[in-house]
Amino acid sequence: MNIGPRAINMETQDSSQKEKTADDLPKVLVFGPPFVFKANEKQFSEKFHCLKPWESSIPLHQFLSIHASSVQAMFCSANNPVTNEILQHLPELRFIATSSAGVNHIDLHECKRLGVKVVNAGSIFSEDVADTAVGLLIDVLRRVSAANRFVKAALWNEKKDYSLGHKLGGKRVGIVGMGSIGLEVTKRLKSFGCVISYTSRNKKPNLTFPFFPNILELSTNCEILVICCALTDQTRHMIDKNIMLNLGKEGIIVNIARGAIINEKELVECLIKREISGAGLDVFENEPDVPEEFLELDNVVMTPHHAVMTGESMMNLFEAVVGNLDAFFSNKPLIFEVV
């Protein structure tokens, strides 16, 4: 058979492609690993040389030192802090993608000083988190989880009455943080007929809901708080006993933001003493550790920091992370840039 130059060239290209190894791919340090990485590891590994410190037997600082001169990009989860110390071990790092909307686990000040770009999940999770917030609120008000336990424990035939729940319509709800999640929560609660007000870093010119400049004033004018703000030095333990008592005995707190925004010890105390009516919590101060008192309280509904976890949101996140990594290595504009 006569093999022409073009066929020889194609054969050479095929051979070259087959010989391509992970070392030829752009290196990405994976910190965590994020759930979306575990679910799509094969696809990530086809595009990037993924460095996985959790698989190494050597200490983290040694692992980082070995790869310090070659790592320009990192993909991390919210559960793995990217501290100043970590950044100092990676002098060539220029890009961090986090799988979360929150960025309190990353030293943004140091990233800015070092010229490290940071992107988050943006508004990818907003609708799913808002759904969970409303679901938790309805569960607490209508005692859905408590009623489920009542039926499964075969108590229905033994007791004639079951505690009354409360309707959602007409409740005065304060939104703490009117970002993309807060807006989605507002959209949903408005359809239930709730009376909505909010506090945020700035008043939103396009919103007609009453705005209160601080959490104290907001809590005085509502009976339910839905926490949607970021965790910062200013918001840590912002929801304390004074705020809870302002809500009154029918007060309810829903938190789908970060656990440390609430003073958890004071929340436990107020719930046990029935100084507020209940709480719906997706996040906790020392995850995965949850105060033991919560486990015994029927007026507390909990989920394991899973408000963002839907198949649809995970696929959207995967596409956004890969798109941002491609953009970084190609020197193209990033999406959801924080720093």
Count of CB atoms within 10 A of residue 102's CB? 17
Q: How many Å apart are CA 237 and CA 274, to the nearest integer?
A: 20
Nearest to 206, CA basis, from 192, 235, 186, 222: 186
Known catalytic residues? 258, 287, 305
- Cα 328 to Cα 59, 110, 178, 253, 334: the distances in Å are 28, 19, 30, 40, 7
Strand partners, 255: 227, 281
Cα separation, 185 vs 91, in Å, equals 41
Return phi, psi of residue 118, to 5°.
-130, 130
Q: Is 206 exposed, middle or buried (0-12, 13-18, 19+ CB in 10 A)?
A: exposed
**CB-based contact 218:243 (threshold 8 Å):** no
Sign of CA dihedral 286, 251, 308, 76: negative
Q: Using the structure block, give the residue that is written with the tokens 């993909």.
A: 75
Q: What's the Cα-to-Cα distance from 73 to each of 24, 87, 90, rounded to whole Å?
A: 15, 11, 10
Residue 87: strand, helix, or coil: helix
Question: What is the distance between the alpha carbons of residues 142 and 167, in angstroms, rounded to a whole number?
Answer: 7
Q: Which of 339, 335, 307 is nearest to 320 (CA)?
A: 335
Nearest Cα neighbor of 25 from 320, 329, 324, 327 is 329
